[in-house]
Structure 1
Amino acid sequence: MSTPQNSRSINLLLGKLAPFLKLGAASGGAALLAFLTQTLLARSLGPDDFGRFSAGLSLVTIMAPLACFGIGSFWLSVFGKEGWGAERWLGASLTYVRLSAGLVLAALAVWALYGPHDSTTTLVILVLLIFVLSQIVMELVGVLFQLEENYSAFALWQVLPHAIRIGLLALLLLLPVFAADLHSALAAFFLAAAAILVVGFALMRRRLSGQLALKGHGERPSTASFAPLKARLADVVRASMPFGLGGFAYLVYTQLNVVLVKYLGSDADAAYYAIAFMVMNAFLLLPNMAFEKILVPRIHRWYHQDLPRLKQVLRLSAGLVLVTSALGIAVLWLSADLIARFFFGAGSAPLAGALLILMWSIPLRSLSLCFGSVLFVGRFIKLRLWIVLITLFVDIALCMVLIPNAATSDGASAAAMAMVCAEAVMCLLFLAGMRYAIRHGERAA
């Protein structure tokens, strides 16, 4: 029979787990909707148009982070340190985003008009320029929800664009009154991005006009007693640049091996490695969600306000990710052959071999996410950037040595070995960086 004390304990536990459950469901739902979207497009457009559409979408997706170049991570950092005083950075930050977005859109438009491709690809890129703007709004609104620790809204915000997109695609591609062609697909993506822009701007305007429900810093001071000096554009560029460079370098680090194994090995090697990397990333959903979405605003705040609590959370988190990583390794160890045969049938041995190597990245990447989360704080982002660059250099060097010397059809395993070694280097450097940051404080950075 439950007692009031047991009920309170259960409610407290559910309250702590709620953000993980909400964002876990949202991440899973978004991944499922994205898969259904790609399936619907591939079946409706055919190989040629689907290839043009995918290439154009990949291009604008890669360029979109440059348009926001570190502002989202910078906001999380500066609000964790300054609390309500960080509102002084908002005006200049938005000016910076407008300028960087303009440059990215101009570069994409020039490439669309003058790049070495046909007129259909030009149309695809030009129509999808709005996707860059919607991604900017997605990131900034998501950061504002994180600062409010409003995980219900944040979870819904992650799923919303996928739901709108597949709904419009189903309408324009499946109903007989519309043509199931590339133009219908572009129209669906354009309208979905436009809808996100309208909703996102409304959410941003409300929060950036004095209605932000900032969590962990008390009530907003009255205007009469609270007039912080406004930051200049140059201050924002200087402060956010390490966040932008660090995020872009990490993106390159995680995606580069697919390119390297293609050009140093073969197209088949690239396919095997890409699938192995995708499967491995599925086991990193939980630590990614925890350290990049749920805990990150709290880590910034705890670092400046409650360092003992931060140490306790990091120790607990490291133990939990090791346990979950061990389970992931066990699952892949038992199912690698089955997964490989599912994708490539009889010719699946190289994929299985790459999976059995790359699975050791799961605990290393999970611990890196844990340790490296502290290095998003303040000036330590520069230390984080150097660690990512060093790891990137190690990975490239190992790929250039291992892949060309690998046996036939074994380039994927060579790339996996390079990645595991690089992940070990990153994990150790992030551990040393985290210990330095906690021991010496931000003033030492």
Structure 2
Amino acid sequence: MAEAIITVILTQLAEITREKIRQKVRLVVGVTKDIEKLTSVLESIRSVLVDAEKRKVKDESVKLWLERLKDIAYDINGVLSEWLTAIRKLKTEGVEDSSLSKKKVCSFISLPCLGYRRVVLRRDIALKIKDINERLDIIATEKDRYSFNTSMESGDTGRLKTNSYIDVSEVRGRDVDKNTLVSKLLSESSQSHGFHVVSVIGMEGIGKTTIAQMVYNCASVEQDFEIRMWVCVSEPFDEVRVAKAIVEDLEGNAPHLCELETLLRRLRNAISGKKFLLVLDDVWTYDYRKWEQLFNSLKFGAAGSKILVTTRNERIAKMLRSSHVLHLEQLTDEDSWLLFSQTAFFERSKEDCEGLEGIGRKIADKCRGIPLNVKTIGTHMRFKNSLQDWQNVLNSEFWEFEGAEKVLFRPSMLSDFDFP
């Protein structure tokens, strides 16, 4: 259960940071650093949990370490849940007080009270965060004694390389998004040369790669562009690797070249005067200097060329000067159910499907419309045969954590649902 809780906590910390920036929430001196430290330590602990879970079976001391970690994780979750609730409440009260101020009704009473509550909240949270960091330091120190392997060392970097192929029959709820994106890619620009950038933005697991694959393989898109290229950018960003991947896609084989200049010359020659579609999937780098040389070479393509970018960060879409941005939203409840049922009920009898549908819909709803979560949990449930197994998952305490609805499930977390 440790990885699931820590993932929820990291999600909460990210949300608090966003709210702090958005609302210009001031913190007690030093708490910002405490939050950064808490995030860093939790990330380092999460990276060893796969190995720790394996070793606890034979090592009682590791099992006890995981139990202590879970205890403090529950406490952290409680503090952060309290903080998030208070931030949202103060935000609502702030809007109300602002409205009162505009009407000049009792604002001299309401605003000082609101300010006082904010000061008390900041001090209270500051003390709790400092105490948590002190306790977590002990857990982190003990972690180092075990010399755990990290997820990176065990080959699990957290990101899979993508490709352009997709079985469209398995996708649910994205027809409107697909049609919108296709129309933007096929629209002609007034430019006499060069390209336009179209970006798809959304949280992890929401289906950005899926929608890019759908439009990439759409018949009208295939007909409209002379050349289509697909590159999984991801991290760490490497200009030479990206340029080499584009040239390899164009020429059908990997060029034995290491110099960026040579690669970009090959790229310019290959696309010169031709209308192309280039998909840059999973972009993280927002330093335009790293893109500039590549993009200058891509300007040799014909008018109407497009670059389709998928990213989690709207800042990247702006940096790349996107002419259109599609914000990908969660699936509807019905589409989530359709995706869940086709996965969880694979090769089940009609009687089994009917008997599990009611509880299955409730489990699908808890995935909050995140397609990757729906498919991951659906695949997990495919191997759960009894109604009690399904009830255990539905009643898991994990769903009760604030922030759990935003967590992306990992295979190593799924055993946490098997409560007796």
Give the alignment's TM-score, normalised by structure 1: 0.24
Pick the structure with greater CA Rg: 2
Give the alignment's TM-score, normalised by structure 2: 0.25
